[in-house]
Amino acid sequence: MDRVSSFDEPLKKLLGGATAKVMAEHLDLHTVGDLLHHYPRRYEERGKLTALADLPLDEHVTVVAQVADARILMFNNGRGKRLEVTLTDGSGRLQLVFFGHGVHKPHKELLPGRQAMFAGKVSVFNRKMQLAHPTYQLLDASDADEATEAVDAFAGRLLPIYPACKQLDSWRIAKAVDAVLPSAQDAVDPLPVSLREGRGFTPLPEALLKVHRPQTKADIEDAKARLKWDEAFVLQVALARRRYADTQLPAVARRPVEGGLLDAFDAKLPFTLTEGQEKVSKEIFDDLATEHPMHRLLQGEVGSGKTMVALRAMLTVVDAGGQAAMLAPTEVLAQQHHRSITEMMGELAEGGLLGGSEQGTKVVLLTGSMGAAARRQALLDLVTGEAGIVIGTHALIEDKVQFHDLGLVVVDEQHRFGVEQRDALRSKGKQPPHLLVMTATPIPRTVAMTVFGDLETSVLDQLPAGRSPIASHVVPAKDKPHFLARAWERVREEVENGHQAYVVCPRIGDEAEEDGKGAKKAKAKKAAPDEDPEKRPPLAVLEVADELRKGALAGLSVEVLHGRMHPDEKDDVMRRFAAGDVDVLVATTVIEVGVNVPNATAMVIMDADRFGVSQLHQLRGRVGRGSAPGLCLLVSEAHEASPARARLSAVAATLDGFELSRIDLEQRREGDVLGQAQSGVRSSLRMLTVIDDEEVIAAAREEAVAIVAADPELEHLPELRTVLAALLDKEREEYLDKG
């Protein structure tokens, strides 16, 4: 059998159809290679064989003993079952207990007189030593030698515990691994020999043996170090090759022009750019001046002035004869960007119009809900090149939209934007346009290196002058209702001082609720006051606004904003709020990104525990955008000791988005962070954890970059090429292609 194919061997050939079917359906394991990369989650120490008379409390032990008696007892009025088994080994007695569905098998097998090995943790119940739900293996009394051997193997080993499923427990997975383990010898080692030896790594076949059947704890550490490195390295090589391929694509260099739009814009800025904005702008201008497409991720704290940096890049491209498109995730945000960019540019945004600057250009908006005439005009302005800047939603990606010369694409809020969409817009240039992706969700460095590994990263981490600090507090509405009353008083005080406030709710709350049936149930079932807040439906914009108008905020102008309003209606509410005609805006998370009303100083987030950490941080960034300090109140009915409350306290304790993103990642682990869209990365990370293995990822990236620079096609590294091909099957290749 050749070296690669034994890993590609279907499991059903070796394990039989039924087991292979369960593995495929429930664990996504199809080949010998898949199973060899299905690593143990942890290892049980059997402990040395212990006499029943000497059992230590609270420790894992392994005993060999004979069943003295076994009986099933009923409890809970006959609804519950437990199996009690008494063991004896001549030195003492020990009780085993099994509950619920777990009683059937041991009841059939652990018959008086049978001898077996049992492993579990010793506890005390009713002043008797016991093992609850121990694992066990029956011993064949007829063959004394075999029994002795089994005892030794069972007792002395570190027992691997595998990620299992209801249909297939860890013992059976371990047996299946035993069947395929000889194939570990055929593992294709992706690491160049010099790298493996230089870093002192165990050879791959040995690492696979050690991770599945370790003799010592040192074996486990050895194996983990090697397997983590492989995952990080292979992924980083894939990303480095993608970046290298991008540098080989042609693009039109867009260099700044003296005395052009950018200079005119800078001259009329009422403030100076921060050091961070200057630095990041330079990185972007350097990229734009090259003849291959820029691929840059711009991470900036909420309110750090990313839009300003992006606009200056767009103006540079217009100066150089190209067009720039900014893609926003929602219509509200596209309109908001259009409004703020035209305001920032003033007469420079009225190119070709009466009163417009002769250096100016046209800035057009393109969204799905525009009227036919306005849409026709916008499309015409794009194809003729009359419009240098277009801002829109995914409507920009439709086939009908043609550009005169698309030079730069700016994508706002990457995490809401599909990779396919980013790609479709990219294909609208005569040559690939430059790409700038902006996100206000700070991403820990390692996640950026893993998820956005095809993008170079720029970080804006200082706030522009004039931004005010935001005080954040948790309001425990259930434990201390008077705190909530005080929260509404604070909102009133802000309004009396000439400011405005947001109130954010998780749900809209009319009958046409997203899941149809859910809303009617939600309406019908108001939560009882002592009910678990998780059980009641989340608070809704329409209901909360109604209650506030009648109660705590009576007499103030309270308006609502949510995603199902007509776009004109949404725009009208936002305009009036921005103009100061609305005191309090009760909204869903449509205000999460990009909404900029410097006079809004307070935000109350209802059911705050139902939002994620980064979402709360985003929302909070809508206040404190002017000279007056901001206030963010996180209202929650979650119990004080709950993880939800811990999350809220973390948000209240720091304004540092990078710190929060780290907390968020620790709480959710990387599965959710990498997300479904990044399924390729996710399914290829089995041993590596993005948060704990920062050094491994950074070192692997460095090695990968060096290797790809020296040998882009990996001609001298056929093993690495083979492993990459296996990792990057069609779906993953596409994912990495689209970034």
Give the pLDDT confidence of 246-265 residue by residue, as tens digits. 788 888 999 988 888 999 99
**Residue with more model confidence, 497 or 739:** 497
Ordered alpha helix ranges (H), 530-638: 541-550, 567-578, 613-620
- Of 702, 705, 695, 709, nearest in space to 445 by CA: 695
- 231: tokens are 């995952």
Which has the closest alpha carbon to 356: 346, 341, 342?
Answer: 346
For the chain, what percent of residues have pLDDT higher than 90? 27
Q: Which residue has the higher pLDDT, 7 or 506?
A: 506
- Min mean pLDDT across 42-51, 381-390, 550-559, 569-578 is at 42-51
Selection from 455, 393, 401, 446 nearest residue 593 by Cα: 393
Distance from C-alpha of 163 to C-alpha of 151, rounded to nearest angstrom: 25
pLDDT tens-digit readout, 322-350? 999 998 888 878 888 898 899 888 888 87
Over pLDDT 70: what percentage of the chain? 81
Most confident of the following: 66-75, 514-523, 587-596? 66-75
pLDDT of residue 156: 58
3-state secondary structure of 362: strand
**d(C-alpha 86, C-alpha 96), whole Å:** 6
CA nearest to 32, candidates 192, 206, 179, 230:
179
Place of tokens 């434990």: 479
Q: Locate tokens 């943790």: which residue? A: 121
What would the pLDDT profile of 133-152 be if each residue is shown by its tens digit? Answer: 888 878 765 555 555 666 66
Q: Work out the number of other CB atoms within 10 angstroms of the CB of residue 618.
A: 21
pLDDT computed for residue 437 by the predictor: 87
**Residue 213: pLDDT band with limits 50, 70, 90:** very high
Burial annotation 439-476 (CB, 10 A radius, 16+ → b, else e):
bbbbbbbbbbbbbbbbbebbbbeebbeebbebebebbb
Cα separation of 249 and 427, whole Å? 13
**What's the pLDDT score for residue 681?**
42
Model confidence pLDDT, tens digit, residues 13-33: 888 888 899 888 888 888 898
Tell me, what's the pLDDT at 219? 94
Kindly report the three-state secondary structure assignment for every residue of 669-701: HHHHHHCHHHHHHHHHCCCCCCCCCHHHHHHHH
State both tokens at 499.
């400011």
Q: How confident is the model at residue 525 (pLDDT cuts 50, 70, 90)?
A: very low
Geometric angle at alpha carbon 351, from 346 and 355, rounded to 5°: 65
Average pLDDT over residues 190-198: 90
What pLDDT score does 733 carry? 46
Question: By the 8 A CB rule, do 480 and 471 touch?
Answer: no
Radius of gyration of the chain (CA): 32
- 165 strand-pairing partners: 168
Instruction: State the DSSP string of 439-492.
Output: ESS---HHHHHHHSTTSEEEEE-SPPTT---EEEEEEETTT-HHHHHHHHHHHH
pLDDT recorded at residue 685: 65
pLDDT (mean) for 585-604: 82
**Ramachandran bin of 226, using left for φ above 0, alpha for ψ from -120 to 50, beta for the remaining angles:** alpha
The residue with greater pLDDT, 693 or 679, is 693
pLDDT tens digit string along 643-677?
A: 788 889 988 988 777 777 777 766 654 444 443 33
pLDDT band at 369 (very low <50, low <70, confident <90, very high): confident
Which pLDDT score is estimated for 79? Answer: 80
Least confident of 78-87, 181-190, 587-596, 663-672: 663-672
At residue 50, does pLDDT exceed 50?
yes
Mean pLDDT of 549-561: 92
Q: What is the pLDDT of residue 152?
A: 61
